[in-house]
Homo-oligomer: A and B are copies of this chain.
Amino acid sequence: MNFTEWLPYIQQRTETALQAALPAAALTPNRLHEAMRYAVLGGGKRIRALLAHAAGALTHAAQKQLDFAACAVELIHAYSLIHDDMPCMDDDKLRRGKPTVHVEYDEATALLAGDALQTLAFQVLAEHPVSATAAGQIEIIQTLALAAGSHGMAGGQAIDIAAVGREMTREELELMHLRKTGALIRAAILIGAHAGEGVNETRRRHLDTYAKRIGLLYQVVDDILDAEADTATLGKTAGKDADHGKPTYVSLLGAADARRFAEDLLTEACDALAPLGERAIRLRDLADYIAHRAF
């Protein structure tokens, strides 16, 4: 399967896995379950799921196991978007081309849907054999928790809201993004690799370098697209970070240097893959895809 076939194939697998993991809307409490499904299904590029599958290919992980891993990471991502869009956070009205959850439903439902999706992510990892061994499964749960918590994603969001209207150095911006977006992207890659035979220390280090570069690359490209594209193309409100007085790579470096920085990160990510051999091909393709995506 070439990359252009693989991409929609994995996206479809992920959609199916998420469909199965989410509670049916017919179950009580219906409105909550509807909101959870609304937030998760039928949208999103599933970058994190793709990365988990690509990393799993490196360690001969079974696709069925990778489905659960991908599912858990996407559930965490979806929960973070719901809460991030709420009025007390970014107060955003549009996400993935649809009204945000608190707009479509209400704030209380959005809060609880986010909460329940986080729980569901850990439930999926605990209920299914995402790794060949129970110890591997626990390591995967631990990796996800570390990435999602106050030292990872939630912490990055706290730094983000504290940064509104404030000057930030490039180092501070990088540190924020490494947590806010980078931590979960890195976790997707490590969890995908854990689902298979595992990796030795040297290979793990290379993979981790790749993972960190990709996390940052994703954000830099996001900033570029946010500055350049319009709302219809993005499926979310364009230019909102700049409007909110939030520092971005474009506001800090200018568009041309931000673009150059993205290319550097892409090169570094691919260099880190070189020692990992031919099975890293999907990870390389994905790096390229993330760097040059149009939305």
Contact = CB atoms under 8 A, between A and B. Distances in A.
Interface of A: 23, 27-29, 31-33, 36, 79-80, 83, 86, 88-89, 106-109, 111-112, 114-116, 118-120, 122-123, 125-127, 133-135, 137-139, 141-142, 145-146, 148-151, 154-155, 157-159, 161-162
A80 B124 CA distance: 21
Given A33-B150, A108-B161, 6 more contacts: A29-B150, A32-B158, A109-B158, A115-B115, A120-B150, A141-B141
B138 A111 contact: no
Contacts of A31: 158, 162
Contacts of A111: 83, 86, 88-89, 111
Contacts of A127: 142, 145
**Of A80, A126, A141, A159, most B-chain CB atoms within 10 Å:** A126
A172 B187 CA distance: 41
Contacts of A134: 133-135, 137-138
B119 A159 contact: no
A159 to B, nearest CB: 5
Nearest to A154: B116
In terms of DSSP, what is the predominant structure of the interface of chain A? helix
A280 to B, nearest CB: 28
A280 B108 CA distance: 40
B145 A122 contact: yes
**Of A86, A114, A120, A123, most B-chain CB atoms within 10 Å:** A123
B33 A116 contact: no
**Of A127, A150, A162, most B-chain CB atoms within 10 Å:** A150
A114 B116 contact: no
A154 B115 contact: yes
A113 to B, nearest CB: 8
13 contacts: A32-B154, A33-B150, A80-B115, A83-B111, A89-B108, A114-B115, A119-B150, A122-B141, A123-B145, A123-B149, A126-B141, A133-B134, A138-B138
A116 to B, nearest CB: 4
Nearest to A175: B28
A82 to B, nearest CB: 10
Nearest to A102: B88
A76 to B, nearest CB: 9
Given A127-B142, A134-B135, A150-B23, A29 B162 contact: yes
Given A83-B115, A88-B107, A115-B83, A155 B32 contact: yes
